């Protein structure tokens, strides 16, 4: 009868188990391709837990679970095989990964990756990196896809990033204030200031178009004169301008994609106010001899240009809005001499709030929600209902007064 091997504590060792001279333990085995491998542990109990993982992985046919493959290695595979994304989206995913994942988390070995590692990584991005949850969500989108590749190729059993962001989202769900549309009075102040202020008047055409069409900023900035049918008063929307950074300290790189969704390709009625804004833009360019010098993906002759003849982008337009709000509010305060509760000031504005304001005005005027959906270019009407259509306090108060008046016969 063969004598059973024991460790220094008298515990019987199984096949493949060894006690090393330094008192730690080793388990030797062959992987799927017959290559000799070893795992190590400080105690026999810990070793046998690892053995169970090894045997389970072998039975499940998982490959290279004991290798030195890192998350970054899988990212390189994902980068080579990923298809179905728009060029700019793909570049943005790569940027997010290289900026936030690759330097630290990406170096972790895939075989040792746990759910808690992913959750800790996201928490660190929020607490130490001071990133917004929406930014972390974008990082999660690409990281989850990368780890899905590892699951598909049988490097790991499950995706450790599944639901990893759930708790963080719940913890900070009230972090950002809901974007509010301008009231009708604020909108009047905004438009009148733009039109009458010589220093800001050059911004009137583009912001007027955004405010009266609800177009996305990328759709407005890539409009060409051929997209405008002045005879039938129609704006043809079939593309969007996107941009991304070439790197720190470098200029932006532009591209033109198809619209965000199939519903995004649409025809928007051109109101008389919007038509005037387009013609005003043309007059301003002729007066200052501004000519389009940009050619992006074969597209040129863009409608809205800066003083150098280049297209605008989301960042420059948002900066312009901040300056406009500042100057307008200072003028209001100066005229009123002292700020009172009755003084109406402009709120923080962004390109997206102009779109939101447009949809709110449509809603306040009882425009059918399906019509709003078509004009805004939403694929799903629930997006129109849940996100963009708001009711200002003034409108709610007036509606309640009308309701009360209609029910006077009850009292």
Highest average pLDDT, of 62-66, 208-212, 295-299, 334-338, comes from: 208-212
Q: How many CA atoms lie within 13 A of 278 on its CB side?
A: 23
Give per-residue pLDDT as tens, 106-143: 999 998 899 999 999 999 999 988 888 888 999 999 99
Q: What is the pLDDT of residue 326?
A: 95
| Residue 80 pLDDT greater than 80, yes or no | yes
- Cα(302)–Cα(223) distance, integer angstroms: 6
What percentage of the chain has pLDDT greater than the value 70?
A: 86
Give per-residue pLDDT as tens, 227-238: 999 999 999 999
Structure-model confidence comparison of residues 12 and 225, the more confident one: 225
Reported as type and span, the H/E element at residue 167 is: helix 166-171
- Cα(141)–Cα(145) distance, integer angstroms: 7
- Cα(230)–Cα(272) distance, integer angstroms: 10
* β-strand partners of 258: 239
Q: How confident is the model at residue 248 (pLDDT cuts 50, 70, 90)?
A: low
Mean pLDDT, rounded, for 65-88: 85
Mean pLDDT, rounded, for 54-65: 67
Q: What is the pLDDT of residue 365?
A: 86
Maximal C-alpha separation, the chain: 105
Domains of the chain: 1-64 (3.30.160.60), 71-172 (1.10.150.130), 184-398 (1.10.443.10)
Is 108 exposed, middle or buried (CB count within 10 Å of its CB: 0-12, 13-18, 19+)? middle
Q: What is the pLDDT of residue 396?
A: 62
- Cα(383)–Cα(340) distance, integer angstroms: 38
Q: What is the pLDDT of residue 197?
A: 92
Q: What is the pLDDT of residue 353?
A: 95
- Cα(294)–Cα(311) distance, integer angstroms: 7
As given in the structure block, the two tokens for residue 136 are 């972390």
Q: What is the pLDDT of residue 341?
A: 55
Reported as type and span, the H/E element at residue 30 is: strand 25-30
CB-CB contact of 144 with 74 (8 Å): no
């Amino acid at each position: 009868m063969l004598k059973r091997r024991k460790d220094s504590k008298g515990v019987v060792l199984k096949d493949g188990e060894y006690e090393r001279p330094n008192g730690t333990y080793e388990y030797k085995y062959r992987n799927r391709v017959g290559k000799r491998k070893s795992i190590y542990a400080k105690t026999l109990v810990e070793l046998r837990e690892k053995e169970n993982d090894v045997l389970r992985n072998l039975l499940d046919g998982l490959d290279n679970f004991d290798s030195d493959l890192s998350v970054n290695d899988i990212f390189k595979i994902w980068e080579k095989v990923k298809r179905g994304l728009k060029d700019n989206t793909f570049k943005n995913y790569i940027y997010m990964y290289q900026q936030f994942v690759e330097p630290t988390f990406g170096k972790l070995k895939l075989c040792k990756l746990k759910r808690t590692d992913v959750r800790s990584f996201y928490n660190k991005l929020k607490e130490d990196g001071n990133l917004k949850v929406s930014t972390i969500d974008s990082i999660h989108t690409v990281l989850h896809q990368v780890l899905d590749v590892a699951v598909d190729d049988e490097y790991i059993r499950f995706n450790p990033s599944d639901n990893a962001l759930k708790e963080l989202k719940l913890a900070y769900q009230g972090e950002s204030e809901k974007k509010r549309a301008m009231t009708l009075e604020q909108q009047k102040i905004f438009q009148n200031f733009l039109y009458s202020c010589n220093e800001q008047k050059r911004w009137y055409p583009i912001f007027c178009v955004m405010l009266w069409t609800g177009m996305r900023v990328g759709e407005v900035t890539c409009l060409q004169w051929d997209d405008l049918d002045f005879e039938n008063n129609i704006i043809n929307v079939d593309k969007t301008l996107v941009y991304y950074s070439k790197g720190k300290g470098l200029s932006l790189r532009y591209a033109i994609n198809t619209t965000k969704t199939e519903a995004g390709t649409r025809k928007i009625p051109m109101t008389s106010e919007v038509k005037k804004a387009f013609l005003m833009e043309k007059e301003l360019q002729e007066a200052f001899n501004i000519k389009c010098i940009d050619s992006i993906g074969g597209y040129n002759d863009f409608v809205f240009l800066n003083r150098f003849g280049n297209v605008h982008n989301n960042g420059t337009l948002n900066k312009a809005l901040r300056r406009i709000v500042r100057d307008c509010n200072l003028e209001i305060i100066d005229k009123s001499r002292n700020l009172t509760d009755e003084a109406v000031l402009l709120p923080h504005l962004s390109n997206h709030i102009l779109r939101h304001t447009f949809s709110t005005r449509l809603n306040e005027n009882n425009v059918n929600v399906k019509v709003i959906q078509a004009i805004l270019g939403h694929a799903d009407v629930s997006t129109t209902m849940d996100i963009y259509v708001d009711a200002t306090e003034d409108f709610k108060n007036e509606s309640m007064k009308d309701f009360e008046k209609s029910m006077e016969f009850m009292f």
